[in-house]
Amino acid sequence: MSYQNILVNPQVRPYVALIQLNRPKELNALNLELMGELRDALKALDADEQVRVIVMTGNERAFAAGADIKQMAGRNAIDMLKIDQFTTWDQIKKTKKPVIAAVSGFALGGGCELVMTCDMVIASETAQFGQPEIKIGVMPGAGGTQRLPRAVGKVNAMEMALTGRFISAEKAYALGLVNKVVPVELYLEEAFKLASEIAQLSPIAVRLAKESVLKSFETGLSEGLEFERKNFYMLFATEDQKEGMAAFIEKRAPDFKNR
């Protein structure tokens, strides 16, 4: 598939794919075309047997500075309703393989929200996160008022959403929004390292573990535990479970087959 607004490398490392948001002049502002391509690419990579983990990145200056303000500026509520851009976001959210965001520079508005749809986040020291929509007369619309408080707590989410202030990578780490902060020249490599580590594991186990963790944000504890248990039992139907446990007992490295 050829894309105009993103670059896709399905094999940047063994079993690891890279998606790069690629509107550098606009700081990777997320127009509808880019989001549609992102949805299509994630769907294709999710179906590709040679891909086990996906890394999503921008460039050094910006992961993404938000939804494309120039594209949205003239629209009215009915235009927005008809365009229904969040269907695209809902599809992105359904990606089954782990997605790691590698963030440098600005991750603002929809950019910050896109980071929060990813499963893990590696940030460069230069990364800045924010929900500045309030400064242009609107508010977060792609999960910023829901995922942000779950990640950083109520008062921090309130401060970000109500003032539009940015937070540094260091603060984002302290608040639990990112997994690790590294010097700018290392952020992508660090994301590949994390991706490669996960890519060596049983993809079925990884898939069900991701699904189970995400379930915890949607359910009460008892229902979540029930869901976890079913997925745990299901893994005993896999060859990878037999291989993983045999390899442990035989003191050798496992060879997972995704079966």
Give whichever of 132 and 203 is closer to ligand HXC, judged by the CB atom.
132
- Indicate whether 251 belongs to the interface with ligand HXC (CB under 6 A): no
Among 4, 49, 70, 222, contact with ligand HXC (rule: CB under 6 A): 70
Give whichever of 129 and 187 is closer to ligand HXC, judged by the CB atom.
129
- Indicate whether 109 belongs to the interface with ligand HXC (CB under 6 A): yes
Among 16, 17, 18, 68, contact with ligand HXC (rule: CB under 6 A): 68
> Which listed range, 23-31, 119-127, 179-187, 248-256, lies at the site for ligand HXC (CB under 6 A)?
23-31
- Indicate whether 110 belongs to the interface with ligand HXC (CB under 6 A): yes
* Least gap, CB of 202 to ligand HXC (angstroms): 34
> Which listed range, 49-57, 130-138, 146-154, 172-180, lies at the site for ligand HXC (CB under 6 A)?
130-138
Question: Under rule CB under 6 A, how many of the chain's residues touch ligand HXC?
Answer: 18
- Indicate whether 69 belongs to the interface with ligand HXC (CB under 6 A): yes
Among 29, 53, 120, 161, contact with ligand HXC (rule: CB under 6 A): 29
- Indicate whether 132 belongs to the interface with ligand HXC (CB under 6 A): yes
Residue among 31, 14, 18, 27 nearest 4 (CA): 31
Annotated catalytic residue 243: no
Active site residues: 67, 110, 113, 133
